[in-house]
Amino acid sequence: MDNNSFNPEELAHTWLAGTLSPQEQAWFEQWYADFNDEELLLSESKYTSADQIKSTILNALNARIDEEPKAPVKVVHLWRRIAVAAAVVFAFGLGAFYHVPLLNLVDPVKQVQLVTAAGQHRQINLPDGTRVWLSPSSTISYPETFRDKQRNINIEGEAYFEVVHDKSHPFVIQSGAVKTVVLGTSFDVRAYPKAASVEVTVVSGKVGVSANTVKQPEMVTANQRTIYQKATARLITENYPDAVKFLNQRKGIFDFKGASLQQVCSELETQYGIHISLAPGLTAKAFYGRLQTTAPVNHTLDKLCAVMETRWEKHGETYLLHL
C-alpha cells in the first residue's frame, strides 16, 4: 500500500464519523502503529509513562463533563462513557497533530511573574535564551517553557530585550493596548501604566508594533521608535538616532546631553518611584552629565545638585530642589 496515498488527519476525522472504508481503516491503523506519539508526548512533559497521561486526560475530561448542566441520570452515564472513550482514543490517535494542546491539558505550563521594586534593575534569561533587562517598578510575565507557535509574554513598566532569532516562533510582547512582534532583535519597551504613552525603540533589527485601535502594524527598524499616545489611540513612528543609549540605560546608566532639569527629574521620579519638585526658574536649566540610578537616591541627587549648583531637601515624601 502506498504510504503517501492518504492524509492521516483527514482519515482521523472520517474515522470519527464512522465512514472509513476497509482500505482506509487498514492504512490508518498501520500508520498509527508505526508512529510513537507516546514518546512525543512524554519527551515534552513531566510524565514518565503513557498510562499516567491517559489517566490524567480521563480525569480532566470527567471534571469538564461534571461542570456541564446534567441531563437525566441514565443519559449522563451513557454519554460520559462514550465521550470519554472517544476523546481518549481520539487524543492519542491524533497525538502527532495536537500534541501541544494535549500537553497543555495534562501538563499545563506554569506562568512566571517577576516584579522589580523602585530603584531596582534586574537581568533575566527567558526559556528560549532571550535576555531581558527589567527596569525599576516593572512586571514581566512569561511561560516556564515556550510550547506554542508564538513566544508570548506580558510587560508592564520598562524592559530591554535581546531576542533570540526563531523564524518559526515569533516573539510577541503585550504591553497594555500595544503588541510588539519580533523574530530576533534588540529593542526597548516602555509601558508604565500611569504614563501618557507606550514607546518601542529599536536598537537593532526590525519589529512590528500594533495597537487595538490601529488596523495596520507599524514596522520599526534600527534607530527608530514608535510612540502610542493613549489619549488619541494613535501610533507615531519617528527616527531616533540616539537609540544606542538604551544599552547603558538598561543597566541604570543615564547620560544627559543638555536635557532640561525638568526632564532629568522626571526620569529620576520614574527610576526611584519618588516625587521631585523644582523651585521656580530651575525647570528649563540644561543638565550635562551621567547619573547612575542604581545608586541610592540621595547620592544621585547630591551629584545632580553639585553640577547644577543647587541644593535638595526632603519634605515628607517630596524632594525639593532649589538654589
Higher-pLDDT residue of 323, 69: 323
Strand blocks (E) in the chain: 111-115, 122-125, 131-134, 139-143, 151-162, 171-175, 178-182, 186-191, 197-204, 206-211, 218-221, 224-229, 234-239, 253-260, 275-278, 286-292, 311-315, 318-322
Q: Which of 66, 88, 106 is the last residue of a domain?
A: 106
Count of domains observed in the chain: 3
Mean pLDDT of the chain: 82
Q: Do 116 and 240 have their domain in common? A: yes
Q: Do 198 and 295 have their domain in common? A: no
CATH code for the domain of 220: 2.60.120.1440
Per-residue model confidence as pLDDT tens digits over 58-110: 666 566 555 555 544 444 343 444 444 455 444 445 454 445 555 565 568 89
Do the domain assignments include residue 4? Answer: no
Q: What are phi and psi of 45, to 5 degrees?
A: -135, 180
Per-residue model confidence as pLDDT tens digits over 144-168: 999 889 999 999 999 999 999 999 9
Do the domain assignments include residue 28? Answer: no
Q: Do 155 and 96 have their domain in common? A: no
Do the domain assignments include residue 264? Answer: yes
pTM score over 0.75: no
Q: Could you give the C-alpha distances from 157 to 114, 121, 171, 199, in angstroms and in order?
A: 12, 12, 18, 11
How many Cα atoms sit within 13 Å of 235 on the Cβ side?
Answer: 23
Do the domain assignments include residue 271? Answer: yes
Question: Containing domain of residue 310, as a range?
Answer: 252-322
182, 207 contact by CB (below 8 A): yes
CA distance linking residue 153 with residue 130, whole number of Å: 12
Q: Do 196 and 126 have their domain in common? A: yes
CATH code for the domain of 276: 3.55.50.30
Q: Which of 58, 75, 106 is the last residue of a domain?
A: 106
